[in-house]
Amino acid sequence: MSVTPSIKVPPLESGDRLTRQEFERRYDAAPRIKKAELIEGVVYVASPLRFTNHAEPHSSIITWLGVYRAATPGVRLGDNPTVRLDLDNEPQPDALLRLEPEAGGKSRITEDDYVEGAPELIVEIAASTAAYDLNDKLRAYRRNEVQEYLVWQRYENRLDWFSLQEGVYIPFTPDETGIIRSQIFPGLWLAVSALLNGDLATVLSELQKGLASGEHQEFCDRLRKP
């Protein structure tokens, strides 16, 4: 009786150039890897994450977005979700906000529970301006029409929030009070200096003003309509 040898799945390593299907096959076979991404056909396996430069700012972003989600029916928040963006890109962003298709969203949840398509807002915590978050990944998000893209560069302690306008990412400029207001998610206000200085209380206080605004109430009314 012949025995068919088992097929060993190759390891998933940074720098591999793979199809999305092969990337998923290797990722599924490597449970020890907690975060890997396919960006423009190239694999990036994340290094262990440091506390001050990633974990803590990540928690601030999730807290800010979580409060907005709690006050906004129909908006969905993801923390480190895998996104099937296109055939060459399967990122795992630090956070995202999305709308369901029936509410005008461009992404959906697949039968195997992944995000497919372009979420409306993606947030990344980047090491520096040299990181791929501001290069290949930015171009992939722009090409797939992610409407807003926020990058917090930790070494420079700088935040860039981009808005897609006529196929080009245009950076938001804070107003005279230092606030940036999302155009896609009305009421999502960010006190930039407070976030960069670790003043989460002020960040949430300014967000509450956005949640109390008329534009947020109108947005919620639209989302509640059947």
Neighbours of 150 (CB within 10 A): 22
| φ, ψ (nearest 5 deg) of residue 4 | -80, 120
Q: Is 127 exposed, middle or buried (0-12, 13-18, 19+ CB in 10 A)?
A: middle
Determine the 3-state secondary structure of 204 from DSSP.
helix
| Residue type (1 letter), 109 | I
Cα 192 to Cα 20: distance, rounded to the nearest angstrom: 36
Of 193, 218, 219, residue with least CA distance to 206 = 193
| Residue type (1 letter), 50 | R
Q: For residue range 99-154, list pLDDT tens digits in order.
A: 999 999 999 999 999 999 999 999 999 876 567 788 899 999 999 999 999 999 99
Q: For residue range 141-189, list pLDDT tens digits in order.
A: 999 999 999 999 998 999 999 999 999 999 999 999 999 999 999 999 9
Residue 112: which residues within 8 A CB-CB, separation 6 or more? none
Q: List the beta bridge partners of residue 131.
A: none
Fold of 20-224: tt1808, chain A (3.90.1570)
Cα 221 to Cα 219: distance, rounded to the nearest angstrom: 5
Residue 151: which region, alpha, beta or left (left: phi > 0; alpha: psi -120 to 50)? beta
Query: What are the extents of the domains in the chain?
Result: 20-224
Predicted structure pTM score:
0.91
Q: Is the pLDDT of residue 2 over 60?
A: no
